[in-house]
Structure 1
């Protein structure tokens, strides 16, 4: 694997927007998918909130998308979105991708902790986040779904 985070540009914009986390979503254009908001939603959010949006590649192959940055409303550095396209799920990308995002956040923001929220019944994502060191804070974000908040403390 050769995981790289790259800027979203005119050259890859439509590919990023069209990348879906679930095959069923391929037929729809909507703001939210089952486990994650759409990439179009998070691209808009990154623009409006001053967040960093990156396309995730394995070599030259687009496999996912992420958004992160300082959320002014909480004063926390947050991993706002991480999605891996449905064709690439279950192929061992989870840990290398999240480690690349954590590294990018540390390099970009010099943050000492990273927060994220996850839909309460997304067990695969929760296991992944806990495996790399995120711990539940006991807080719950009430959005479209109850989302427990996790924190990774950077050593």
Structure 2
């Protein structure tokens, strides 16, 4: 299994290694309604939905662990991210190509979910891209708190490739 997905998770671990619980929990109102911790918990929830869904044969992104300790404490989040990396490291190509059902809420005005077929590989692409999107928001939150972030934190892989080719 390529390490691209673990690289994405490792970006969060690298950031969190230097963050205090206070910085992790800070709400930067009115600009953000969620803390860095809430964004990291949200990312972890998506990876866990994927992991749980693989075991059950049906990924349901609507079932998440909102407002838990992962959102409040850096060390708990880092451990959850290490656990996710361990899971990712044990995946093989055959499992990644398996078809799996995916359910996600799709309507902003009403409660409505859609279920479709996908593969674990496609969903790994989704949760990794989703994480990077949240990293971009976290990057701004860190900047507003004068916290430095790792190079390319919150940048899409294609953007990093473009920057490196243009240099």
Q: Under a length normalisation based on structure 2, what TM-score does the superposition of the two structures give?
A: 0.28
The structure with the largest helix share of the pair is: 2
The structure with the largest strand share of the pair is: 1
More relative contact order, 1 or 2 (CA 8 Å, 6+ apart): 2
Which of the two has higher C-alpha Rg? 2
